[in-house]
């Protein structure tokens, strides 16, 4: 008998042993000849490995039997910087292909966004040189152009850091902002959380969800409201926040499968990971647009091109901004390292936000400007210590939650 990862299973393989769910429910009997339907059942139930009869594999190694030609052709190009001979990448490739099959609207939107800019869209000569003088670091000391965060954010942050702070005290802080209070209660009573009885007070909400989750939600709402007030010149703000919220929700959901990480901390890190790019888009649209055009026409990494225009990339700038606002070191590090080319195993929470950003990009959830899927860093993946097949329930859970999240957080 051969032990096979479910994401390496192919139609034509035969089960050598019966397969049961974690709850003991019989899913497939021994001797079942696997087809696409049976493989989907195994993945849906979160089965990680199966025993198959040796030699009973009649399908070639391609994916064209599983996905349509249009999706396969796109996926091969989209994953071009990743080694698809790697078992982990192959699993993620299959997961993304299945996702696009279920969500054709996201697939078509991503395909249309990734059309390479024309050569004539790239600034030339003196215009390009003038654009390169953009100085985002100088904004950090300009309180007029880049105003401080609202006071309530820091009050909530202080409450989070105080182990003696009760749910009622946090509710009292949030209640100072009626708009924030109303938005928070709408989210708590939405299908995102699925409470059977209506929650009509912030104190009860803190009791039902826990103070940490109430605080992360309140801080997230406050941050999005703050950035919506910046110069509105980014090309697609809803797509930007769709990506950021997707990263936040995915990171929180991953936390339930990884020991030693804080789901609410990861939610905040995921939500804020691209704040540097948001400032670039808002205050330096010409330079950011030029960087996007050059990255597209020259097939280069946008993060590297950003450094040529701004002396820092958006991850580095976002971390500087987080430090200026006295965010925790952990949040600042998650922002700084979400595109890092790790040469060793990073801290788990940094790895989770890195991977969440990578996976949400791979699935085309929202859009923050990256026009090529980078190579998945093997050290970041190793740091999380989880099998690729365990991502199936995480993707399903995120799929259910993300539309609610964007509706209530962004409006």
Q: What's the per-residue H, E or C state across the chain?
A: CEEEEHHHCCCCCEECCCEECCCCCEEECCCCECCHHHHHHHHHCCCCEEEECCCCCCCCCCCCCCCCHHHHHHHHHHCCCCCCCCHHHHHHHHHHHHHHHHCHHHHHHHHHHCCCCCHHHCCCHHHHHHHCCCCHHHHHHCCCCCCCCCHHHHHHHHHHHCCCCCHHHHHHHHCCCHHHHHHHHHHHCCCCCCCCCCCCCHHHHHHHHCHHHHHHHHHHHHHHHHHHCCCCCCCCHHHHHHHHHHHHHHHHHHHCCCCCCCHHHHHHHHHHCCHHHHHHHHHCHHHHHHHHHHHHHCCCCHHHHHHHHHCCCHHHHHHHHHHHCCCCHHHHHHHHCCCCCCCCCCCHHHHHHHHHHHHHHHCCCCCCCCCCCCCCCHHHHHHHCCCHHHHHHHHHHHHHHHHHHHHHHCC
Q: What does pLDDT average to in each consecutive run of 10 residues of the chain (411 residues)?
A: 77 86 85 85 83 58 61 91 88 89 90 67 64 78 77 86 84 88 85 80 84 85 82 70 94 93 93 92 84 82 88 94 91 97 97 97 90 92 88 87 80 63
What was the pLDDT predicted at 67?
Answer: 65
What was the pLDDT predicted at 242?
Answer: 92
Whether the CB-CB separation of 205 and 188 falls below 8 Å is answered with yes
Two tokens, residue 63: 């994916």
C-alpha separations of 68 from 20, 98, 358 in Å: 30, 10, 23
Torsion (CA) 345, 357, 393, 411 in degrees, nearest 10: 150
C-alpha separations of 66 from 56, 94, 104, 111, 187 in Å: 18, 9, 15, 19, 37
Residue indicated by tokens 């215009």:
127
What was the pLDDT predicted at 61?
Answer: 42
What was the pLDDT predicted at 211?
Answer: 81
Distance CA 62, CA 349 (A): 35
Prediction pTM value: 0.80
Whether the CB-CB separation of 92 and 362 falls below 8 Å is answered with yes
Q: Which domains does the chain have, with CATH numbers?
A: 1-61 (3.90.105.10), 63-147+230-411 (1.10.3210), 148-229 (no CATH)
What was the pLDDT predicted at 203?
Answer: 86
What contacts 29, CB < 8 A, 6 or more positions away? 15, 18
- Note the maximum CA span of the chain: 71
Exposure string of 246-265, with b = 16+ CB inside 10 Å and e = fewer, is bbbbbbbbbbebbeebbbbb
Two tokens, residue 104: 């054709």
């Amino acid at each position: 008998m051969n032990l096979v990862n479910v994401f390496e299973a192919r139609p034509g393989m035969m089960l050598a042993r019966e397969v049961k769910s974690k709850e003991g429910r019989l899913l497939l009997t021994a001797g079942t000849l696997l087809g696409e339907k049976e493989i989907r059942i195994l993945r849906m139930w979160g089965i990680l490995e199966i025993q198959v009869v040796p030699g009973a594999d009649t399908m070639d190694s391609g994916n064209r039997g599983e996905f349509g030609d249009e999706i396969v052709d796109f996926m091969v190009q989209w994953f071009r910087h990743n080694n698809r001979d790697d078992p982990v990448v192959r699993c993620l490739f299959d997961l993304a292909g299945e996702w696009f099959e279920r969500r054709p609207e996201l697939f078509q939107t991503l395909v249309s966004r990734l059309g390479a800019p024309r050569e004539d869209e790239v600034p030339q000569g003196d215009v390009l040189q003038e654009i390169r003088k953009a100085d985002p670091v100088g904004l950090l000391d300009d309180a007029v152009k880049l105003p401080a965060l609202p006071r309530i954010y820091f009050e909530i942050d202080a409450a989070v850091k105080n182990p003696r702070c009760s749910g009622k005290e946090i509710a009292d802080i949030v209640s100072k902002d009626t708009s924030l209070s109303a938005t928070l209660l709408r989210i708590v009573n939405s299908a995102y959380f699925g409470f059977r009885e209506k929650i009509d007070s912030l104190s009860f909400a803190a009791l039902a969800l826990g103070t940490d989750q109430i605080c992360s939600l309140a801080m997230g709402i406050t941050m999005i409201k703050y950035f919506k007030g910046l110069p509105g010149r980014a090309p697609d703000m809803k797509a930007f926040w769709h990506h950021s919220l997707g990263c936040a929700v995915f990171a929180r959901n991953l936390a339930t499968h990884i020991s030693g990480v804080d789901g609410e901390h990861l939610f905040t890190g995921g939500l804020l990971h691209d704040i540097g790019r948001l400032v670039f888009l808002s205050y330096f649209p010409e330079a950011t647009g030029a960087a996007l055009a050059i990255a597209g026409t020259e097939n280069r990494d946008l993060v590297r091109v950003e450094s040529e225009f701004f002396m820092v990339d958006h991850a580095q700038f976002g971390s500087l901004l987080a430090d200026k606002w006295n965010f925790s070191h952990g949040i600042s590090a998650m922002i700084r390292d979400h595109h890092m080319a790790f040469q060793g195993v990073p801290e788990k929470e940094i790895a989770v936000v890195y991977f969440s950003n990578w996976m949400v990009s791979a699935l085309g959830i929202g859009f923050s400007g990256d026009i090529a899927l980078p190579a998945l860093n093997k050290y970041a993946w190793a740091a999380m210590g989880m099998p690729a097949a365990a991502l199936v329930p995480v993707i399903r859970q995120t799929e259910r939650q993300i539309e609610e999240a964007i509706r209530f957080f962004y409006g």
